[in-house]
């Protein structure tokens, strides 16, 4: 594993989880330059953005799973009244399956919002989407041009 070429800048970047999207463009240049030259910080930045994407994906999937579960429970009568016994510390909680699924859905929504606020995942994913759109935009006219020529 490589080490950081400038531990002062490296420590600052580390405390931000290598996310410089929130700071002003004129302040960003020093950090961008460091990221461009320091292999260690670049690798860590990639790792942190990968973690963000995993977190937002897992919470999104979790929301979808609970929505699907609620839809299934809603359509199957015996499931609607089925009970779930939860053991929380020393108390026993008896919920209907439907209530448990609603609680799960709420918890996943809270997790999703926390990830969206605390990480640059939305900014990062929007950036990726814009980049992809640009690539497609560049590619489409080229393919059309080839087809017209042929
Ligand atoms: Zn570094």
**Is residue 127 assigned to a domain?**
yes
**Is residue 2 assigned to a domain?**
no
Distance 48 CA to ligand 1 centre (A): 14
pLDDT of amino acid 18: 93
**Is residue 1 assigned to a domain?**
no
Q: How many domains does the chain have?
A: 1
Distance 12 CA to ligand 1 centre (A): 10
Distance 122 CA to ligand 1 centre (A): 24
- CA distance to 16, 32, 101, per residue, from 107 (Å): 26, 36, 10
The span from the CA of 32 to the CA of 38, in Å, is 10
pLDDT tens, residue by residue, 117-138: 888 888 778 888 888 888 887 8
Distance 7 CA to ligand 1 centre (A): 6
**Is residue 98 assigned to a domain?**
yes
Boundaries of domain holding 128: 7-149
Distance 147 CA to ligand 1 centre (A): 47
Distance 2 CA to ligand 1 centre (A): 9
Distance 45 CA to ligand 1 centre (A): 10
pLDDT of amino acid 150: 56
pLDDT of amino acid 34: 96
Distance 37 CA to ligand 1 centre (A): 8
Distance 46 CA to ligand 1 centre (A): 13
- DSSP secondary structure letters along 77-110: HHHHH-EEEEEETTEEEEEEHHHHHHHHHHHHHH
Distance 69 CA to ligand 1 centre (A): 45
pLDDT of amino acid 46: 94
pLDDT of amino acid 40: 96
Please list the ranges in the chain whose pLDDT falls under 50: none
pLDDT of amino acid 1: 60
Distance 20 CA to ligand 1 centre (A): 13
pLDDT of amino acid 93: 80
Are the CB atoms for 45 and 8 separated by under 8 Å?
Answer: no
Entry pTM: 0.72
pLDDT of amino acid 108: 96
For residue 130, the tally of other CB atoms under 10 A from its CB is 10
């Amino acid at each position: 594993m490589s080490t950081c070429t400038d531990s002062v800048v490296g420590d600052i970047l580390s405390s931000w989880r290598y996310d410089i999207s929130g700071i002003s463009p004129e302040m960003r240049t020093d950090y961008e330059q460091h990221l461009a030259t320091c292999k260690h910080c670049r690798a860590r930045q990639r790792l942190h953005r990968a973690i963000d994407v995993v977190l937002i994906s897992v919470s999104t999937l979790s929301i979808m799973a609970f929505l699907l579960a609620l839809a299934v429970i809603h359509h199957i009568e015996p499931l609607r009244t089925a009970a779930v016994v939860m053991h929380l510390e020393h108390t026993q909680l008896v919920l209907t399956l439907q209530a448990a699924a609603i609680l799960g859905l709420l918890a996943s929504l809270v997790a999703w919002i926390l990830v969206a606020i605390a990480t640059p995942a939305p900014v990062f994913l929007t950036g990726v989407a814009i980049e992809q759109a640009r690539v497609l935009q560049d590619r489409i006219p080229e393919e059309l041009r080839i087809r017209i020529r042929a």
